[in-house]
Structure 1
Amino acid sequence: MSTVEKHYLQRYPDSNGYFGQFGGNHYPVELRPALEELAESYEQLHSRQEFQHALTRARIGLQGRPTPIHYLENISKEIGGAQIFVKREDLNHTGAHKINHCVGFALLAKEMGKKKVIAETGAGQHGVALATAAAFFNLECEIHMGEVDIAKQSSNVGRMRLLGARVVAANQGQSALKEASDSAFHAYVEQHETALYAIGSAIGPHPFPMIVRDFQSVVGQEARKQFLDMAQDEDRLPEHVVACVAGGSNAMGMFSSFVDDAEVTLHAVEPCGVSERLGEHAATLSYGRPGTLHGARSVVLQGEDDTPAQVSSIASGLAYPGVGPEMAMLHATGRISVAAVSNEEAVEAFYRMTRSEGVIPALESAHALAFAFQLAARRPSSEKILVNLSGRGDKDVDFILENYGVKAPA
């Protein structure tokens, strides 16, 4: 971890769990003691050498870290602009970055004497990752998932159940990620004495955004070192770092190592869905306003009655009407650049990546790739773009074939 990185990670959040004006703890009073216990336990445990050794062992043996940086040579040549590199988080065991914080939460639960971990999932990647970590650390596991996503991501549901997890269907509202989060939060309220909520992204009340960010920061730490090693004598960082964003776990994992480097532009890529009309996208930073969601003050897509709006995205893991408080702060201060990518643009990037590079990306990651391809075309070949390829697309293959067929990109 670099000196600059330590400075940023230690500066935020403040002692009350705020990232500037965003964050805090807006959870039911009866759960405050459980959140205080978690914050205190994390503070005590995460800096202990024994805890870090156990975490490192799991990351090497179970996850397969470190993940490599890969140069997209074919696509970079096709575009003819800036050079594009990807951090291969899709090569993690279970297929995405989610296992980075799932292993951390499972280890925390074990050390705190909890018997069970609870979480929500959208695309199923977080659910599979937590079920895997729970099996590894011999914990019970309960995953809440929207009925719509259960039908869309049946293979991931099967994997969770094979790993021993109980899958609970959330059937209220849109029956998607927000409803799964509501259901999981409620379950945690009822079971907090014996269970730990392993939240799926950098959202929720303090200390969840901080813990997820810290466990995910391994992505940025590795990427920064790998990029500098690759540059050899140049000692040069990428000009652009790109990640898709909903809650912000993969984005903050990557951004945390570059946020204090003024020469590096950080790009957060949101899902624009099918149109810019409210209810037909999930581009929270682009179209949301300050509000409170799932226990934290942040930016939220809201209707006229100030309730969370319906959202839409081809990527289940991005269909969320809010964003993590740290992402909201970085946007408010102008540190990150925000772009929105449509369903069709993401699908085009999905096909291009498979045909030109032999890599099948998750539809969530395809949003970041779509923007990176557009950005590369506008930038000179002397510049470098680093994309967090947050997950692989095994889970999306059936959906793509059923709805788009086998075709080359446009």
Structure 2
Amino acid sequence: MSYQVDENGFYGPYGGSFVPEVLFPNVAELAENYQDIMADPDFQNELKRLLHRYAGRETPLYPSPYLSGLYGASILLKREDLCHSGSHKINNTLGQVLLAKRLGKKRIVAETGAGSHGVATAMACALLKMPCSVYMGEVDMVRQFPNVERMRLLGAEVIPAVSGSKTLKDATNEAFRHWINNPEDTYYVIGSVVGPHPYPDMVARFQSVISCELLGQVPELTGKQLPDYVVACVGGGSNAAGSFYHFLDHPAVRLIAAEAAGKGLHSGFSAAATFLGKEGILHGTKTKFMQTIEGQVLEAHSISAGLDYPGIGPLHAYLHDTGRAEFVAVTDDEAMDAGIALSKNEGIIPAIESAHALAALAQLRLKSKDVVVVCLSGRGDKDLETYIQYSTSQKSES
């Protein structure tokens, strides 16, 4: 069974390109050219140079004494939080902005939830001299205010999305509208493995640098050729796609995707698309997302702005249906407790997105010989206010 995209942009029944007619030439141009551009030695050399000298790759694989002792297995943290920008997002934005320049585009538009993709896009655009507009939900702009100011300092225009829930879904809607109105000179840098083909495949390829590095790091640290588990959080799913990519065809490696259950799977305040969603068209692709009986998109909830999205990428929908990846639901409280525990016991403050992956470890039946890689997708600087509020509320309740 192949887990790669087919020639029409599908992973099994999921994927494809469902866009307005005005955008079809842009998407078709990208689909026709992205593989050739990415395979070009000059492009690859430039990207590798920037990933190494600018973004700080390769990132360490860190054996966690605290987590290993807690779960009785070898827990290794892939430290994407140490990338320049503070998350894995820079892997993709450097690649896409370089690609946009190859296509002759003059302006970049992007969406962001937690702000990590927006910051990484703004950094890549500042470096590569491309003007940049970033859409961000008005609610997320409040809870991720430091990242808003970072984007502005980097020269990006930050535009609030004021419709719907004023979060990531709505920022994505506004970015699509901008692209529709400016199809000739604008390139849309999508931040996750979502959207019309070829974005899910392209983003997965740019993020696959994570699992490519793991192929060398795991044997060096453990003596085992492959890990027993790879664990990552999933909203749209870019860090998970990158962490899973080179292990997809190794069935002995169990792939664990941690979704945001919010206040509980059946609370009405959740973002766990594989548990609560069904098939449909969202943001230009066929995938799984939470929707009403009539097919209208339901509002998602997560304490993590980066996981506050009603769907998952088509690759992950396919991995779910085929059973190649196992999806677990992690509540807000479970994630916050896991993030605070790692901070206090290891001196590493994880992004709340990443804390969902840490909390998922409690749902695995691990053995002492197991080697478990957890993708620490980002650092928690942007989430300090949320951590403080949560800690304060916990103290007041006790």
1:284-303 matched pairs, under 5 angstroms: 284-303=273-292
2:122 maps to 1:131? yes
| Superposition deviation, residue 403 in structure 1 | 3.4
Conservation of the 8 A alpha-carbon contact between 1:279 and 1:309: no
Secondary structure, aligned partner of 2:392: coil
The residue that corresponds to 1:209 in the other structure is: 200
The residue that corresponds to 1:390 in the other structure is: 377
Secondary structure, aligned partner of 1:105: helix
Q: Aligned-residue CA RMSD in angstroms?
A: 1.6
Cα distance in 1 for residues equivalent to 2:6 and 2:134: 31
Secondary structure, aligned partner of 1:404: helix
2:326 maps to 1:337? yes
The residue that corresponds to 1:30 in the other structure is: 22
The residue that corresponds to 2:161 in the other structure is: 170
Cα distance in 1 for residues equivalent to 2:206 and 2:225: 25
2:258 maps to 1:266? no
Task: List alignment gaps of at least 5 residues for structure 2.
Answer: none
The residue that corresponds to 1:366 in the other structure is: 355
The residue that corresponds to 2:272 in the other structure is: 283
| Superposition deviation, residue 379 in structure 1 | 1.6
Conservation of the 8 A alpha-carbon contact between 2:22 and 2:183: no
Secondary structure, aligned partner of 2:132: strand
Taking every aligned residue pair, what percent have the same amino acid on both sides? 44
| Superposition deviation, residue 112 in structure 1 | 1.3
| Superposition deviation, residue 183 in structure 1 | 0.3
2:228 maps to 1:236? no
| Superposition deviation, residue 34 in structure 1 | 0.6
Cα distance in 2 for residues equivalent to 1:285 and 1:224: 28
Cα distance in 1 for residues equivalent to 2:187 and 2:341: 40
CA offsets, 1:101-123, max 9 Å, x none? 00001101111111111110000
2:212 maps to 1:221? yes
Secondary structure, aligned partner of 1:348: helix
Cα distance in 1 for residues equivalent to 2:19 and 2:328: 31
Cα distance in 2 for residues equivalent to 1:74 and 1:278: 32
Conservation of the 8 A alpha-carbon contact between 1:290 and 1:297: yes
Secondary structure, aligned partner of 1:395: helix
Cα distance in 1 for residues equivalent to 2:268 and 2:123: 34
The residue that corresponds to 1:76 in the other structure is: 68
The residue that corresponds to 1:144 in the other structure is: 135
Cα distance in 2 for residues equivalent to 1:250 and 1:116: 25
TM normalised by structure 2 equals 0.97
Single out whichever of 144-153 and 255-264 deviates more from structure 2: 255-264
Conservation of the 8 A alpha-carbon contact between 2:265 and 2:329: no
Conservation of the 8 A alpha-carbon contact between 1:278 and 1:309: no
Count of matched residue positions in the alignment of Structure 1 and Structure 2: 396
Secondary structure, aligned partner of 1:386: strand
* CA spacing shift, 1:112–1:80, aligned 2, 3 Å: closer
Secondary structure, aligned partner of 1:87: strand
Q: State the AA in 2 paired with 1:51.
A: F
2:43 maps to 1:55? no
Selected match of 2:106 from 110, 115, 119: 115
* CA spacing shift, 1:397–1:20, aligned 2, 3 Å: same
| Superposition deviation, residue 373 in structure 1 | 4.1
| Superposition deviation, residue 279 in structure 1 | 3.5
Secondary structure, aligned partner of 1:256: helix
| Superposition deviation, residue 41 in structure 1 | 2.5
| Superposition deviation, residue 374 in structure 1 | 4.1
2:328 maps to 1:315? no
Secondary structure, aligned partner of 1:385: strand
Conservation of the 8 A alpha-carbon contact between 2:215 and 2:225: no
TM normalised by structure 1 equals 0.94
* CA spacing shift, 1:363–1:80, aligned 2, 3 Å: closer
Q: State the AA in 2 paired with 1:167.
A: V
Q: Following TM superposition, where does structure 1 have runs of at least 4 consecutive aligned residues deviating by more than 4 angstroms? A: none
The residue that corresponds to 1:4 in the other structure is: none
| Superposition deviation, residue 227 in structure 1 | 0.5
| Superposition deviation, residue 70 in structure 1 | 0.4
Cα distance in 2 for residues equivalent to 1:62 and 1:259: 29
* CA spacing shift, 1:283–1:45, aligned 2, 3 Å: same
Conservation of the 8 A alpha-carbon contact between 1:278 and 1:311: no
